[in-house]
Amino acid sequence: MSGIRPTGYLHLGNYFGALRNYVRMQDEYDCYFMVADLHSLTTHPDTKELRNHVRHVMAENIACGLDPDRVALYCQSHVPETAELYLFLNMMAYMGELEKTTTFKEKARQQPENINAGLLTYPVLQAADIVLHRATLVPVGKDQEQHLEMARNFVKRFNHRYGEVFPEPRAFNYGEELVKVPSLDGAGKMSKSENQFATLYLTDDDDTIRSKIKKAKTDSGPTEPSQPKPDYISGLFGLMKLVSAEDTIRKFEEDYDRCVIRYGDMKKQLGEDMVRFIAPIREKTEAITHDEKYLKEVMEKGASKARSSAQGTMRLVKEAIGLNYF
Ligand code: ADP
């Protein structure tokens, strides 16, 4: 189970941190993936763009390879059981730990005028999303590790108090390390809502991709053989590893180690490889967003699968708590 917030169009970080694994998992597991519209309200109370973003992110999920016939692909607000479970899990979460969460502190700093309770209990809502399907594997990027640990704590407390209802969920990435796709300015990660010029979107046109990569931060190059790379340079190599051929990567690694690397050439190559990767996803997304009838059907089918799983879990939850009076 996993989800992505419709706070903007998807980017390369969403793809490699999350979607790539979703697509692989659909062949092996019973999967639930959703567009997390309720989560987006904690930071984006203005809903003018919401409808457009929800449809777009849904289409991007499909364009990246998710098959709505094999997985439950749904919109979070179409499954009201989420809110009900969120209420019960709120009783398992302590103020102190919520206030200490890294993402809460970051967001509180970013929006001091709107430090709402939803922002504080974001990890609880996320835990509800996951355990609503009694899911165990959660394909997410590295930035979500702490939330998953909190979800396990809420689940352990629930199980301890009311009996074993939920398995403990964990972050999942096919055995490799969790991925963090760095932003092109070398400061932090690519993100939907921040640093848009340093983020590569799956809808960027070819020239935008080339120009963003051309402007990525570099320097005058290494001065000693095999010297450690600064963050922004290892970020560029990191991006190359995601989309370029192995011999291309090897060539630039060797050039770097021998202090003859030309960052202009490296960025040009990376730009072309990135265009080749992103263009087909962009074109597919465009075609899907124009097919309203299809998108509506996908959402309805997804909601119905997700609700039937959610209702089963809620029966167990209420029985365990003792809310069945007759
Ligand atoms: P954003 O930070 O862009 O708003 P979300 O919070 O909606 O993205 O995260 C959706 C998924 O994408 C999560 O699984 C998250 O771990 C992953 N993700 C987001 N940004 C990155 C990144 N730069 N690198 C790797 N994974 C990422």
What does the domain layout of the chain look like in residue ranges? 2-179+291-321, 204-286
| Reported pTM | 0.92
Among this protein's residues, is 284 annotated catalytic? no
Residue 256 CA to ligand 1 center (angstroms) comes to 30
pLDDT reported for residue 158: 98
Question: What CATH architecture does domain 2-179+291-321 belong to?
Answer: 3-Layer(aba) Sandwich (3.40)
Phi, psi (deg, nearest 5) at residue 296? -65, -45
Interatomic CA distance for residues 161 and 164, integer angstroms:
9
With a 6 Å cutoff on the Cβ, whether 181 touches ligand 1 is yes
Count of C-beta atoms within a 10 Å radius of residue 96: 7
To test the pocket of ligand 1, the residue of 143, 174, 194, 195 to mutate (highest count of ligand atoms within 8 Å of its CB) is 143
Residue 45 CA to ligand 1 center (angstroms) comes to 20
**C-beta of residue 217 within 8 angstroms of C-beta of residue 186:** yes
Q: Residue 314 belongs to what H/E stretch?
A: helix 292-321
Residues whose CB is less than 8 angstroms from the CB of residue 26 and which lie 6 or more positions away in sequence, other chains included: 66, 67, 70, 71
Low-confidence ranges of the chain (pLDDT < 50): none
Tell me, yes or no, if the two domains 2-179+291-321 and 204-286 fold the same way. Answer: no
Q: Which fold has domain 204-286?
A: Tyrosyl-Transfer RNA Synthetase (1.10.240)
